[in-house]
Amino acid sequence: MDYGKSVQLIWMALKEGSFTVEHYEEKFEEDFSFVEENYQEIESEFIKTNYTSMEVIETWSESYNKTDTLNMTIDREPLTTHALTQYDVEFSIPVVLVMQMYTTQRQDKIAWAETFYDFIIYKDKDGDGIYSAGETGNPSHSGFGLTTSDERVGTMSPQAINWRTYSEHTPIFTNLTTNSSNHYVFPHDKTVSEIASTIEFSPPVLTDTNTVSWDINYPQFPVYGSINDKDKAPSESYSPGVNATYDLMSPGDFSYQFDYNLNDTQADLDFTLNMSKIISQIEKSARQGNNILLVAPNGMGKTVIALSALLPLAQDKGFKIVYLCRTHAQSSRVIQELNNIESSLSDTGKSVAGISIRGRNDMCLNNVLLRLRTSPSESMAICADLRKNNNCVYYRKVKKINEGLKKFELFEFKRPVDAEELMDYCKEHKYCPYFLTKYLLKEMTVVVCNYQWIFNPDIRFRFLQLLDTNVIVISRNKLEKN
């Protein structure tokens, strides 16, 4: 995509809002007119038969049609009906709208926009590892929608709302007017303005030559969370209830950080979500063997949230986190986020070891295999032959350090390492990246790889043997059932 001379970014965050809706409808009738038209058509066939000899004597047909019209007007007393509906709403919700507009060198006008979403809590009933949106046990209730699913058991939505409704109705055949009103406040012991006043916005600053950064914080913001698992007793369902207090709405700290990078060829907006309640919910769900699905746009911070939530569990239990990605670029991004977490732990003396891995063909440095450009199965056979006959210098060097890996000080894997960084090091020191990675897997807390490492049964069996422990799997994207 080619960019023109300028790119415009518009960023808006709702702090506090209100709206009023009034709908009034009135109908007046003074007389009553009625028109009716009836049309009737009959076609008959007759057969005259001698029932003694069963001889047909005569046959004939007849038809009949008739049209009647009824037109009348009834005078009566004038009748009036009316209906009135009113909504008055005050609200404060973390809604952020980002729009980017530019004109390309071909004079094409381009624009995109993104907003934030609620969070869906689900239970993986069919065991396929994904949230089955749109699928229910009743086909008539199924449909294309994120919240339409038998697996959905709840939602989490940060919000403060004061909602008033009023309606009245006078039916056409009576002069009796009925009315009703409702008032919902979440939380009821703090005003919307009081909640909104705590929101903090940091103005944009230039963090490096091409990057502008800013953030918005929602300290101790109330959360409307509801749980309704149809497989459990109604008594186990949960919602804050009508007019819940601030404490019952489980307030938590929410923040969104934005980094906008503009260079000669592209403009990138990266935004990171930090939600303490979401992180704690993911960790709690993982410890209980449940799942949680984050529905949010790219760049919102799902990666760092998932890692921050699951690393304590993995380190406590000695588990490994296997993070599945579709592309090499996505794998590199996970390692980048892991490095950010590692940096934040520098004052604590703790560290996180992680590595991104690729397939044999992508990591091989042997010129024989590189020149042949064979298929994966052929490469595996040639590689095995080279190793068997001791003809791969890269494998020979890795084999020598395998026994004393913990004393291998030239390249310490006590931090997150991307596959590209590993390969650069191996090129310099003549090590096989693929087998060095395999030897290092037992030392890693986080392993970033392609889906095939887990979802291909043959590869998974050997891969899990190398890891030699329980694993927690994170999937970055939607997985198809087939």
Percent of the chain scoring above 70 in pLDDT:
81
Question: Which of 439, 427, 443, 356 has its CA nearest to residue 401?
Answer: 439
The 8 Å CB, 24+ separation contacts for 382-388 are none
Q: Would the pLDDT of 393 be above 60?
A: yes
Question: Which of helix, strand or coil describes residue 141?
Answer: helix
Q: Which range among 59-63, 193-197, 287-291 shows the weakest confidence by mean pLDDT?
A: 287-291
455 pLDDT band, cuts 50/70/90, is: confident
Question: Which of 300, 211, 219 has its CA nearest to residue 259?
Answer: 211
pLDDT given at position 337: 85
Distances (CA, A) of 362 to 89, 205, 419, 427: 57, 40, 10, 13
pLDDT given at position 82: 76
pLDDT given at position 45: 82
Q: Could you read off the pLDDT of 303-322 as tens digits, one per residue?
A: 877 888 888 888 888 888 99
State the average pLDDT over residues 38-53. 76
pLDDT given at position 4: 58
State the average pLDDT over residues 459-481. 74
- Both tokens of 19, joined, read 């709206």
- φ, ψ (nearest 5 deg) of residue 58: -160, 150
pLDDT given at position 422: 87
Q: What is the pTM of this model?
A: 0.49
14, 276 Cβ separation under 8 angstroms: no
pLDDT given at position 410: 44
- In terms of pLDDT, which residue wins out, 24 or 297? 24
Q: Would the pLDDT of 208 be above 90?
A: no
Beta bridge partners, 10, equal: 99
pLDDT given at position 1: 40
Q: Which range among 110-124, 233-247, 458-472 shows the weakest confidence by mean pLDDT?
A: 110-124
Q: Would the pLDDT of 102 be above 70?
A: yes
**Burial (Cβ within 10 Å: 0-12, 13-18, ≥19) of residue 309:** buried
249, 223 Cβ separation under 8 angstroms: yes
pLDDT given at position 157: 83
162 pLDDT band, cuts 50/70/90, is: very high
96-103 sheet: strands from edge to edge = 7-13, 96-103, 109-114
- φ, ψ (nearest 5 deg) of residue 3: -95, 150
Q: Give me the residue spans of the domains in the chain.
A: 302-482
Q: Which range among 22-31, 205-214, 223-232, 441-450 shows the weakest confidence by mean pLDDT?
A: 22-31
90, 18 Cβ separation under 8 angstroms: yes
* Most confident by average pLDDT, 142-156, 167-181, 198-212, 392-406: 198-212
Name residue 194's amino acid. Answer: E
89 pLDDT band, cuts 50/70/90, is: very high
pLDDT given at position 173: 63
Scanning 295-406, the segments in alpha helix (DSSP H) are 302-317, 328-344, 360-363, 367-372, 376-388, 393-402
pLDDT given at position 409: 47
Distance CA 437, CA 440 (A): 5
Q: Would the pLDDT of 408 be above 60?
A: no
482 pLDDT band, cuts 50/70/90, is: very low
Rg (CA), the chain: 35
pLDDT given at position 147: 75
* Residue range 302-482, CATH number: 3.40.50
Which region, left, alpha or beta, applies to residue 301 given φ > 0 means left and ψ of -120 to 50 means alpha? left
Q: Which range among 286-295, 426-435, 441-450, 471-480 shows the weakest confidence by mean pLDDT?
A: 471-480
- Check the CA dihedral 459-464-467-472 and report its sign: positive
Q: Would the pLDDT of 362 be above 70?
A: yes
Does residue 187 have a cis bond before it (omega within 30 degrees)? yes
pLDDT given at position 480: 46
pLDDT given at position 115: 64
**Burial (Cβ within 10 Å: 0-12, 13-18, ≥19) of residue 438:** middle
- Both tokens of 408, joined, read 């291998």
Distances (CA, A) of 144 to 136, 181, 359, 445: 11, 33, 36, 38
pLDDT given at position 126: 77
- In terms of pLDDT, which residue wins out, 251 or 172? 251
Beta bridge partners, 63, equal: 43
State the average pLDDT over residues 317-345. 84
